[in-house]
Structure 1
Amino acid sequence: MSTTETQSETYVHYHDGGVPGKRRVLVGTEAKDTFNALPKIDMRRIYSDKIEDRKELAKEVGAACRDVGFFYAVNHGVDEHLLDDTFADVRKFFGLLTEVKMEVHNQKTEKFRGYEAFLEGKLDPSTRGDLKEGFLMGEDATDPEQNRPITPSTSKPRNQWPSHPSASFFRPAIYAYYDAMLTFSRRLLRIFALALDLPEDYFDAITTTPMTNVRAVHYPPQESDSDVGIGAHTDFCWFTLVCQSKTAYPALEVLNGNGIWVPVEHQPHTFVVNIADFLKLVTGGQWMSTVHRVRNIGGEERYSMPFFFSPNEEARVSVLEQFRKEGEMYERFGVGEYFQKRLDIDRTTHLDGEDGEGKRARPYV
């Protein structure tokens, strides 16, 4: 994450929707009325049989989506033992031999599924790379665990799983987490619909086979202020659920309207939920896809397990009617096409050369 200064102004730089952007830091009398902490929302009402309870929850969620773009989902109801077990298995996976992990290096797949080594990602071009290692999986009709229909467009495997016996625990562990997060996400999607004054099942038709990802991430302690765990960016999905390990010093940070980084501390029995680019687009910018980053400067190992949820790959979406302005034209865009475009922009690796000679260059645009 870079910061620049002019004679009297300071700016923070980031990628928003895959496009470089900057925000001036506002202090004193120039400061806006913006958030300085994430709201906490009790999610127990998501399981209520009463529509009144779910609508009450939706009002709180809608306010958080408009004003912040992030919130803590407290009392989410996902089994805590499952989450603890998944974190333990994620730590174990990243502790495996490098050659075991590199068998499923993400450059072997078009969707960049599999293992990403340290410094291979580079969301902030002013840094030497993202100081993290990760593993990405997602929707894949050829994985029997997902029980998805195989069609001509989904017949090719997308996920990679390590074959070494030392990693045999990892696939079932990730799928247990995947299933739990997918179930919760479907409930949350209906709360989002209510928050937009839509029928509760409004988005069901375009999320029958949603695009989904789990990214397991390991952030080692940063030893330099010039490093970043992951550069400042917005997410390019519908919404993201983040389960983060407990650290004494918060590593995840969210950028508020004044250009100030707001720390997101670990909270027990909570997910961190953030709105991403698709929901910003369909609400005409009324809901915030908020810039965020990770700087793990507290001296501890940090692990994170974000779950990304989007509509069906073949779905086409546009700005919802209630957010359209009279006289303006609104195009529909393909979810899968947009997702792949952003993936290509954001996934810069050590294989990319500045001149691109003999390598696959993915420039920032």
Structure 2
Amino acid sequence: MSTTKTQPQKKTYVHYHDGGVLGKRRVLTGNAAKPTFNEVPKIDMQRIYSDNLGDREQLAKEVGEACRNVGFFYAVNHGVEERILDDTFTAVKRFFHLPTEVKMEVHNQKTEKFRGYEAFLEGKLDPSTRGDLKEGFLMGEDATDPEQNLPVHHLPFMSTPRNQWPSHPTAAFFRPALYSYYAAMLTFSRRLLGIFALALDLPEHHFDHITQHPMTNVRAVHYPPQLSDADVGIGAHTDFCWFTLVSQSRTAEPALEVLNANGIWVPVPHEPHSFVVNIADFLKLVTGGAWMSTVHRVRNRGGEERYSMPFFFSPDEDATVSVLEGYRKSGEKYDEFGVGEYFQNRLVVDRRTHLEAEGSGGY
């Protein structure tokens, strides 16, 4: 009588950046799989504008559940004018179609904050790829930009310009369009931060004192169609802010994907009248890991051009954060983190080009 030995299943892993550190997650299937999410929940945000605190608290309960279990949700009926979103997408597409020399005038390697234009394949979050198949443009808080109306004399660390804007006349449309989007997203983000506070059983304005002059970014991104499965639009990573709001163009095949507890990639398709919201490292930090800063990536495999406009909302640059009292374990010691230092360290890791690492001498 012969017996057949069952071969042990080979372990496979998904690799990613988490908090600027390389990490991995085992892919679990069959009996080894854990209970986890297989889709991103949708939450109607109309109650965020209600004058009734009870309405906002009910919204916060739904948001809190999504933050604990998924780390992502769709903010449906967010209230930001569709006209602003449409106009900004039009401007973003137009900008990325400008000649390369116009865009490279404001190449992001010219600034410490990596503001400005990032060319194709210059980022490389996944070391197994040839680089991130995207081009982008980054702007953010800058007290020298009059559109932001920030008090320079109270913010000495922001006394020098941070943003770069192209000077060529063919790009003159871009700055006002991006600032229209920036202003709308900043206003919505301040409201949403209050909902997150309520979801943590805190007063609605608990975080306001460390988010008076928040670090903020709009990152306009263009993903061309991927012609090879070996490519990735942007490698797997977590974000480093309070949270991120993403406007994404409609594509037939979803490009944004989030990683669940079983190491399975869950698609996040375009949904009309909604933002994709994901909480990020600072909310994971203050909750002691109870809220998930979920790993995500982009693979644009549907043969279409894809555009997205994530808005990143962070605490003040000179603030410190630590684990909230309600999330501390007895006997444990908890350090404080300087927001600006943590942010800059992550920025350097995420924006350091592999071209530099290979000694190419520049772009």
Pair in the same fold by TM > 0.5: yes
Give the distance between the partners of 1:162 and 1:350, measured in 2 at CA.
25
3-state SS, counterpart of residue 297 of structure 1 = coil
* Alignment partners' CA distance in 1, 2:19 and 2:59: 28
| 2:254 is the alignment partner of 1:258 | no
2:97 equivalent to 1:95 = yes
The number of equivalent residue pairs is 354
Q: Distance in 1 between matches of 2:335 and 2:187?
A: 31
Q: What residue identity is the alignment partner of 2:88?
A: T
Q: How does 1:1-365 map to 2 (within 5 A)?
A: 8-150=10-152, 151-354=155-358
Distance 2:12 2:335 in 1: 36
Counterpart in the other structure of 1:363? none
Q: Give SS of 2:112's match.
A: coil
Q: CA deviation at 1:7?
A: 5.9
| AA at the equivalent of 2:265 | W
Give the letter aligned to residue 129 of structure 1: G
Deviations 1:36-81 (A, max 9, x none): 0000000000000000000000000000000000000000000001
Q: Runs of 4+ in structure 1 displaced over 6 angstroms?
A: 357-360
Spell out, residue by residue over 1:100-134, the C-alpha distance to the aligned partner (whole angstroms, 9 max, x if none). 00000000000000000000011111110000000
In structure 2, C-alpha distance between the alignment counterparts of 1:21 and 1:353, rounded to whole Å: 20
Q: CA deviation at 1:347?
A: 1.1
Cα displacement (A) at 1:149:
1.1
Root-mean-square deviation (Å):
1.3
Q: What is the distance in 2 between the residues matched to 1:346 and 1:103?
A: 21
Paired residue type of 2:103: K
Task: Compare CA radii of gyration and give the structure with the larger one.
Answer: 2
| Pair 1:119–1:359, CA change in 2 (3 A) | closer
TM-score with structure 1 setting the length: 0.95
Residues in 2 aligned to 1:248 and 1:153: alpha-carbon distance in whole angstroms: 44
Percent identical among aligned pairs is 79
AA aligned to 1:134 is G
1:110 match: secondary structure? coil
| Distance in 1 of aligned mates of 2:148 and 2:362 | 34
**Matched letter for residue 242 of structure 1:** V
* Residue identity in the other structure for 2:263: G
Equivalent residue, structure 2, for 1:3: none
1:8 offset after TM fit, Å? Answer: 1.5
* CA deviation profile, 1:319-353 (whole Å, cap 9, x unmatched): 00000001111111110000000011111215413
Check the 8 A contact 1:141/1:147 in 2, yes or no. yes
1:353 and 1:359 in contact (8 A); partners too: no
Equivalent AA in structure 2 for residue 260 of structure 1: I
1:153 aligns to what SS in structure 2? helix
Structure 2, unmatched stretches of 5+, are: 1-7
Question: What is the CA-CA distance between 1:357 and the residue it aligns to?
Answer: 8.8
CA distance in 2, matches of 1:207, 1:253: 29
CA 1:41/1:154 → structure 2, altered by over 3 Å: closer, same or farther? same
Deviations 1:67-96 (A, max 9, x none): 000000000000001101100000000000
Q: 1-side partners of 2:56 and 2:360: how far apart?
A: 55
Opposite residue 267 of structure 2, the aligned amino acid is P
Unaligned ranges ≥5, structure 1: 1-5, 361-365
CA distance in 1, matches of 2:361, 2:272: 48
Aligned partner of residue 216 in structure 2, secondary structure: strand
Alignment partner of 1:309: what SS? Answer: strand
Alpha-carbon contact 1:253-1:294 (below 8 Å) kept: yes
The 2-side partners of 1:115 and 1:357 are apart by 19
